[in-house]
Structure 1
Amino acid sequence: MDQPVVGILHPGSMGAAVAACAAKNAAAVLWCEEGRSPASAARAEQAGLAPVATLSVLLERSDIVISLCPPAAAEDVAAEVAAGGFGGWYVEANAISPERMQRINELLSPGVRAVVDGAVVGSPPVRGKSPTLYLSGPLDVVAAVEVLFAGTAVRTKTLGAEVGQASALKLAYSSFQKTSRVLAALALGVAREHGVDQELIEVAFRRTGSYLAEPEYVAKTAARAWRWGPELEEAADALAAAGLPPDMLRAAASTLARWNDAKDDSSLTLADALDRLAHP
């Protein structure tokens, strides 16, 4: 498919940045204005995306639809796409469990040409960042999605032909990466309560690879908690489906919920985050 028209659902911080990369090899990248916030509109404009008024127009004009939304909304978004009669390629790129990925595949397969399982690992592709989009599913379609991002800040890697592989990789990584930051916040919180938080950080600095040595990540974690919590719930579901205990990840998700009112607050300090953690 030469220079396809791509639809992005929806232009959050990751979605808008990924869509901007796709625009380099697409005829156009569309986004739907209906029901979106002024912040979404500003991100879409900055990314050079073309607005359309309704989802039905986006689906009618798009060859490929990429879903990048909060994990909890992934199935609802897919259901809207299915109800809209979309007949192109659907890239489900959210942080969801392999089981939910399969449900979305079954929901969409009767109408779409193909469903691709995608997972973005890394930060949004801005200011020199270069995340990897892992892909699995029908290999000819996966190859076309790779072409869409060729020469951009989004690297791609094909995992195989099985839908669910990319989702499993993403949640396996999230299980460690996000939960370890929650544990760092709890450790710093209890140390601060007893006046030894700086000593704890010094101990951590003498070791390598510890989030305790990077306390600035606590505030960043708090600002992202509104979407990380649901992602860890998805990871917990994946653990349970594999016969593994999900309790630790569910506890981490519950802890993150204490920061839900700090959504995307870039001004949050470490002290603010720890205060909210102790006194929600």
Structure 2
Amino acid sequence: MTAAQVLGVLHPGSMGTAVAACAASTGTRVLWCPAGRSGASVRRAEQAGLEPVPVLEELLAQCDVVLSLCPPAAAEDVADQVAGLGFAGVFVEGNAVSPGRMVRIAEKVGRSAVVVDGAVIGSPPVGAKRCALYLAGPAGATAAVEALFTGTAVSVPVLGDELGRASGLKAAYTAYQKASRVLAALAYGLAEHHGVGQELLDVAGKRVGSYLVETDYIAKTAGRAWRWAPELEEAADALDAAGLPDELLRAAAAALDLWTDAKDHRDLTAQDALAILKEER
């Protein structure tokens, strides 16, 4: 891997832009395609030092490595576009998709490209925050991706060459972390309904690291529900494929769906978020 390698990122939101900015900080040329993207996305990309390319075909022609980081519902469509244009470099499927969907994507894109299974875990790497981009796939391809982030806030652990291991890790983490946030919100809402919200917090405060005491996160969960619900559905698919019960995650996803209109609502309070659940139900 040399500095001449070019990275393309499709279609970066707040996480994708922050990850791409880390690669750009090393001197790597990082491209993105602004076609159909919002003004906010364009501003984020400009601030991160990403180079706009007007059409996907042109971007793919210039890139050695392409990293797909988009909402999971769009992941397969994005992969279909890349496959249809015959991209022949390294394609990193970095979205929160089930291992089964990962394999389907690899079958399509892998006709011309080398496919790497990827999973981002952690906060967007901005300021002092860090994240990990877990990889699974052919050694040469994972090494090429690793080199793009050397010395940055993105660590790149490699899980071997078996596709599905990185997406399986992400699904497992999502199953606990995101469903737990939903359960904490519902538990607090129930306690508040009976006038014992503070008492619940007092009990939870005696447990180290309990999500129940983080009531401010209820509003954050609501604002991210548009993205978290599909991720939980992907995790539920992974549970089903593993022969494990999937109903709990599908129920949590259904609860998140009630918050869809709260997307990125920064002024929402915990009480507002709980009121939405009652209204929408």
Question: Under TM normalisation by the shorter chain, which class is it?
Answer: over 0.9
Determine the C-alpha separation between the residues in 1 that align with 2:28 and 2:143: 18
- Structure 1 residue 192: deviation in Å? 1.1
Residue in structure 1 matched with residue 53 of structure 2 by the alignment = 52
Name structure 1 gaps, 5 residues minimum: none
Residue in structure 2 matched with residue 248 of structure 1 by the alignment = 248
Instruction: Judge conservation of contact 1:101–1:163 (CA < 8 Å) in 2.
Output: yes
Identify the range of structure 1 (18-27 vs 43-52) with the bigger mean alpha-carbon deviation. Answer: 18-27
Instruction: Judge conservation of contact 1:5–1:26 (CA < 8 Å) in 2.
Output: no
Per-residue deviation, residues 180-209 of structure 1 (Å, max 9, x unmatched): 110001001111111111111111111112
Amino acid in structure 2 at the alignment position of 1:35: G
Determine the C-alpha separation between the residues in 1 that align with 2:27 and 2:254: 40
Determine the C-alpha separation between the residues in 2 that align with 1:146 and 1:24: 14
- Structure 1 residue 248: deviation in Å? 0.2
Residue in structure 1 matched with residue 42 of structure 2 by the alignment = 41
SS in 2 for 1:160: coil
Residue in structure 2 matched with residue 5 of structure 1 by the alignment = 6
Per-residue deviation, residues 199-240 of structure 1 (Å, max 9, x unmatched): 111111111121001111111111110010000000000000
Name structure 2 gaps, 5 residues minimum: none
Where do 4+ consecutive residues of structure 1 move more than 2 Å?
A: 24-27
- Structure 1 residue 127: deviation in Å? 2.1
Instruction: Judge conservation of contact 2:28–2:148 (CA < 8 Å) in 1.
Output: no
TM-score computed with the length of structure 1 as normaliser: 0.98
Amino acid in structure 2 at the alignment position of 1:93: G
- Structure 1 residue 128: deviation in Å? 0.9
Determine the C-alpha separation between the residues in 1 that align with 2:75 and 2:190: 36
Residue in structure 2 matched with residue 139 of structure 1 by the alignment = 139
Residue in structure 2 matched with residue 204 of structure 1 by the alignment = 204
- Structure 1 residue 27: deviation in Å? 3.4
Amino acid in structure 1 at the alignment position of 2:168: A
Residue in structure 1 matched with residue 72 of structure 2 by the alignment = 71
Determine the C-alpha separation between the residues in 2 that align with 1:278 and 1:187: 14
Determine the C-alpha separation between the residues in 2 that align with 1:102 and 1:256: 27
Residue in structure 2 matched with residue 231 of structure 1 by the alignment = 231
SS in 1 for 2:35: coil
Identity within the alignment, %:
62
- Structure 1 residue 24: deviation in Å? 2.6
Amino acid in structure 2 at the alignment position of 1:77: V
Residue in structure 1 matched with residue 263 of structure 2 by the alignment = 263
Determine the C-alpha separation between the residues in 2 that align with 1:56 and 1:220: 36
SS in 2 for 1:134: strand
SS in 1 for 2:158: strand
- Structure 1 residue 99: deviation in Å? 0.4
Instruction: Judge conservation of contact 1:20–1:48 (CA < 8 Å) in 2.
Output: yes
Determine the C-alpha separation between the residues in 1 that align with 2:279 and 2:208: 31
SS in 2 for 1:158: coil
- Structure 1 residue 33: deviation in Å? 1.4
Residue in structure 2 matched with residue 195 of structure 1 by the alignment = 195
Determine the C-alpha separation between the residues in 1 that align with 2:144 and 2:279: 49
Determine the C-alpha separation between the residues in 2 that align with 1:25 and 1:241: 40
Amino acid in structure 1 at the alignment position of 2:163: V
Residue in structure 2 matched with residue 116 of structure 1 by the alignment = 116
Amino acid in structure 1 at the alignment position of 2:269: T
Compute the RMSD of aligned alpha carbons. 0.9
What count of residue pairs does the alignment treat as equivalent? 279
Residue in structure 2 matched with residue 20 of structure 1 by the alignment = 21
Instruction: Judge conservation of contact 1:26–1:148 (CA < 8 Å) in 2.
Output: no
- Does 2:97 correspond to 1:96? yes
Per-residue deviation, residues 67-89 of structure 1 (Å, max 9, x unmatched): 00001111000000111221111
Instruction: Judge conservation of contact 1:6–1:26 (CA < 8 Å) in 2.
Output: no
SS in 2 for 1:34: coil
Residue in structure 1 matched with residue 81 of structure 2 by the alignment = 80
